[in-house]
Structure 1
Amino acid sequence: MRAAVLILAAILFLLLPGHPVRGHDLVADEYISRYRELENKFPGTFYMSGNREKQKVALSFDDGPSPQHTPEILDILAEYSVPATFFLLGQEAAEHTWLVERIAREGHELGNHSYTHRNFTGLEWSAVEEEIRRTGQLIDDITGEYPRLVRPPYGGVTIGQLQRFEQSDYKLVNWSVDAGDYEEENQPEILLARIQLQMHPGAIILLHDGGGDRSSTIRILPELIEMLQDEGFTFTTVGELIDSNYY
């Protein structure tokens, strides 16, 4: 009960003009508008969400694997029998191959988040290809499966790059719900409130298991799962969620 009250208070706080974290939400609004246009322009290649007529959602985690945070996240997911998609950085996967193995062994989906987390919008196509190829080959060497889902660092991609991806068998996946767990103002109640305000059927939820202190992400994860289950949502992987667009 106390947690629900805190989340409600945080929602009201987020809706107030001029609150300290409003900048994030204004950026998020601009992001949604811009990338929805790209999703409509490149169907079957670029995704922000799945089928909005089904009560399914996907949790996705970026910038790992991290020995500090990924094991705890995996423990929570196992406790609730919830699948997730982990978009791995190649340089982190190379350092922590045992975590890549564990993620795959426990039935989660692996995606490609580049090797060095350089923004694709500032790279030539050959460099983008190398970032993806190097990470994909590494994941294949560790797990025996080459990932076809790619999440560009920072969600950044150009129209010219999308035209190239259209000619490949990769699927680029961004997100429609951003928890903002990379922000300094990332108290658990604020993160949950922000997710609650953005939620919709077919949502791809952006979270992080690497790249910084993700203790708040770990703290909210059980409550987030329970909150969404209470609202009638079921969890699936990103790959299954975007495939459901055509079912």
Structure 2
Amino acid sequence: MTKRLWSFSIVCLLVTSCGAPFSKPFPDQSSAHLASPHVTQTSTEANRDFEESHFVTDSDANTANAKKRINTLLPVSTPSASTVPSASATPSRAPRSTVTPSSKPKISSRKPATQTEASKRPSVPVQKNQGQIRIAQKKLTLSQLVVKYPETFKLRGSSQEKKIALTFDDGPDTRFTPKVLDALKANQVKATFFVLGSMAAIHPDIIKRIANEGHVIGNHSYSHENLPKLSVDKFQNQIERTEHVLQGLIGYSPRLIRPPYGAINEEQVKWMADHHYLIVNWNVDSLDWKSLSSDQVLHNIMQQTKPGSIILQHSGGADSQDLSGTVQAIGPLISKLKASGYTFVTVPELLHVTKSR
């Protein structure tokens, strides 16, 4: 009996000192987290925060396992709207502590892609417009202008006929132009002279002689300016002023225009076309303006000449230039080319155009 009482007393003491309410969960990390109000975040919000988190790794396996871990920890039932906290609440901690970050963060697969596409959209038309503007502003080369304006800009005649045209620029002057005329007359060849308005006004008698001896006169500007560098008004004045001088001396307004240095831009070509001028450059350059000897002038011309060629020489120039080689080369040049079967004609004859507008 005594033993039974003693055993009963021991059991009572143990129950009194060690008892605990069985309804309370064990205080482990997970249960503590589940008791937190932060777990009321929806699964969509949790996944979104997870994807935006820097703990998301480049490994698909790690990402899937981490998401599975979070979903396991979230409550099954969805809380009512009144119990959902604000979106700014701190994301759950327990699942993050179980994910081991790897070497490289992964950016969200949806939002950054959308932002990147949106940021690119406005730049596309801007880049296209800038490209179109650059193309529109790009200056065409002389050869491109010839191709684009074949009826207004000429470098040579037809290669189907063995005809060539001698041309002389920068006259008239009293040193070399009369000698050039004498050489042409002696060889019974007609040429084309592109003269300066300022020089024509000073030497009107030489201009008249050129015309009277059957040569054609073209417009080489008034004062040998680089035309593309001029304003529209100054450019037009260079042409029209020369035309006015020549009209009074030879009785016609020359249709043929040779820009100084052969330089011209597209706007000026369009103006020439609108006013029925014809731009005539060359495809054979004697380089005689370098004060070359007659042999050098002859060599330069002979090695370049082909059927339809327009040959550039000079009958006037700066005081420092010596065109004696040009004058001396005329006779031998005509003889050699005639012997090769070439016929000398004026530029209007070569291009089958009129000399006047």
Task: Please indicate the TM-score interval, normalised by the length of the shorter structure.
Answer: 0.7 to 0.9
* Number of the residue aligned with 1:60: 167
Q: Does 1:237 align with 2:346?
A: yes
Per the TM alignment, residue 72 of structure 1 is displaced from its structure 2 partner at its CA by 1.1
Instruction: State the SS of the aligned residue for 1:61.
Output: strand
Q: Does 1:189 align with 2:298?
A: no
Letter in 1 for 2:351: I
Per the TM alignment, residue 64 of structure 1 is displaced from its structure 2 partner at its CA by 0.2
Per the TM alignment, residue 37 of structure 1 is displaced from its structure 2 partner at its CA by 2.7
Per the TM alignment, residue 36 of structure 1 is displaced from its structure 2 partner at its CA by 3.1
CA distance in 1, matches of 2:152, 2:213: 27
**Pick from 310, 314, 321: which aligns with 1:208?**
314
Q: Which has the larger radius of gyration?
A: 2
On the 8 A contact 2:294/2:324 being kept in 1, the answer is no
* Number of the residue aligned with 1:172: 279
Moved more, 121-130 or 96-105: 121-130
* Number of the residue aligned with 1:98: 205
- What stretches of structure 1 move > 6 A for 4+ residues in a row? none
Give per-residue Cα distances to partners, 1:3-45, cap 9 Å, x unaligned: xxxxxxxxxxxxxxxxxxxxxxxxxxxxxxx533322211110
Letter in 1 for 2:303: L
Moved more, 59-68 or 35-44: 35-44
CA distance in 2, matches of 1:124, 1:52: 37
* Number of the residue aligned with 1:124: 231
* Number of the residue aligned with 2:336: 227
CA distance in 1, matches of 2:159, 2:144: 16
Give per-residue Cα distances to partners, 1:204-227, cap 9 Å, x unaligned: 000000003211100101011111
CA distance in 2, matches of 1:168, 1:138: 18
Per the TM alignment, residue 76 of structure 1 is displaced from its structure 2 partner at its CA by 1.1
**Pick from 69, 76, 85: which aligns with 2:176?**
69
List runs of 5+ in structure 2 lacking aligned partners: 1-140
From the two aligned structures, give the one with the greater strand fraction.
1
TM-score normalised to structure 1 length:
0.82
CA distance in 2, matches of 1:118, 1:52: 32
Letter in 1 for 2:316: G
* Number of the residue aligned with 2:195: 88
* Number of the residue aligned with 2:25: none
Instruction: State the SS of the aligned residue for 2:225.
Output: coil
CA distance in 1, matches of 2:212, 2:204: 12
Cα RMSD of the aligned pairs, angstroms, is 1.2
CA distance in 2, matches of 1:188, 1:77: 15
Per the TM alignment, residue 167 of structure 1 is displaced from its structure 2 partner at its CA by 1.4
Per the TM alignment, residue 166 of structure 1 is displaced from its structure 2 partner at its CA by 2.0
TM-score normalised to structure 2 length:
0.57
Instruction: State the SS of the aligned residue for 2:303.
Output: helix
Identical aligned residues as a percent = 41
List runs of 5+ in structure 1 lacking aligned partners: 1-33
CA distance in 2, matches of 1:224, 1:38: 31
- Structure with more contact order per residue of length (Cα contacts < 8 Å, sep ≥ 6): 1
* Number of the residue aligned with 2:61: none
CA distance in 1, matches of 2:145, 2:158: 17
How many residues matched? 210
CA distance in 2, matches of 1:197, 1:231: 13
CA distance in 1, matches of 2:236, 2:312: 24
Per the TM alignment, residue 137 of structure 1 is displaced from its structure 2 partner at its CA by 0.9
CA distance in 2, matches of 1:208, 1:180: 9
CA distance in 1, matches of 2:242, 2:198: 8
**Pick from 219, 223, 229: which aligns with 1:112?**
219
Per the TM alignment, residue 191 of structure 1 is displaced from its structure 2 partner at its CA by 1.4
